Amino acid sequence: MSKQIIHRTLVWSGKLRAAHWTLSLSSLVLILTGWLIPIVPSITHLSNDWHYLAAAVFITVLLFRLWMLFSDSRSAGITALMPGKQALPAIGQMLRFYITLGKAPLPSWYAHNPLWAPIYLFSILVMLLLAATGLAMDEYPILFSIYLPELHSTLASIFTIFVAAHVITVFIHDAKGTSSDISAMVNGHRIFVVQKAGNPDKDNIQHISLDGFGK
């Protein structure tokens, strides 16, 4: 019978967590005020003020997150968001987990969810385009035959869907798995069931081998 070790390790740095939560909060303000501006004219001025304030915070932290993409060699770096060949089986397992509504077991991963990692990278690109179109559309509403306010609105809708899906799936992972995904983004530590020897059991538990631990 195989032995298992419960291991709690730091995965998310303080800088990454601060950037994550600041982007999250500023994004919520941007989504809410962006929705209110066209449909509640009585508070348009107030909504605009909060939208521009949140945008300033959002852009500042987004630039910091971009810097971490190329300066961090661990979980905040760009290589951590680019799945290799070894991630393909885990991506398939993640798809089965979602298709079965959490009945299939979660695959193991160290930092970023293998299926969502490239989506996170794409979301950063969307955030950059949101920032660029938001800054430019007042001065240049039409650029290269593109109506920037409409593009900005479309990108905002895509980003809102991403945020909603991200929140829902993180709660599912935390409810069905054992790695404390929600609290990990608060204190930085994930919990792993380390498989020491033998075959991993078939329960809905995340396992990671000792050879690959921390990589």
- Is residue 129 one of the residues assigned to a domain? yes
- Is residue 214 one of the residues assigned to a domain? no
Asked whether the predicted pLDDT for residue 3 surpasses 80, the reply is no
pLDDT band, very low/low/confident/very high, at 101 (cuts 50, 70, 90): confident
- Is residue 114 one of the residues assigned to a domain? yes
- Is residue 215 one of the residues assigned to a domain? no
CATH number for position 172? 1.20.950.20
- Residue 27: its pLDDT value, please? 96
Which burial class, exposed, middle or buried, applies to 190 when counting CB atoms under 10 A from its CB (0-12, 13-18, 19+)? Answer: buried
- Residue 213: its pLDDT value, please? 44
Is the entire prediction scored with pTM above 0.85? Answer: no
Q: Nearest to residue 20, comparing CAs of 12, 32, 30?
A: 12
Domain that holds residue 70: 4-209
